[in-house]
Structure 1
Amino acid sequence: MIRTCNNVRALVEIIRHGTGAALLPETMIRAELASGALVSVLPAPKRQICFEAAIRSAERDPLILELFRRVSGLRID
């Protein structure tokens, strides 16, 4: 039976209690993997996903500019 859940933290707890399996980004469950609370059962994909951010050249909204500044420096290892 396949079920869905749109709350990742709730999904992690369900899996930690041994009542399911899921495909989750390693960055979101790194601590659980390190502690042994969760284990990988499939090999990690060899491909990486590249993300790009774009902004209008004439953007003047300070909030948008600040968000873009933060996103442009984001690194996920």
Structure 2
Amino acid sequence: MLNLLSILFGIVSLVVVIPATIPLLGWANWLALPLIAVGVVLGQLSSSNTGRNFCLIVLLIAAVRLTLGGGII
């Protein structure tokens, strides 16, 4: 159950992160980071690693985008 919740948090945060790759929408990544963190924690508590790994990939995408934009743009 926790793995399913982790995947759900990952999908919701991915829906926020994908449009945030557009210039001047990078601030949306800051909204997605807490969702990703909750997904990683739920994935860590579950017996399967799928949800946690998916959330970590979404976190990597968001972190690279924030780094390229200087954290704001």
Q: Indicate whether the TM-score tops 0.5.
A: no
Radius of gyration: which is bigger?
A: 1
> How does the TM-score come out when normalised to structure 2?
0.28
- The structure richer in helix per residue is 2
1 or 2 for the larger relative contact order (CA 8 Å, sep ≥6)? 2
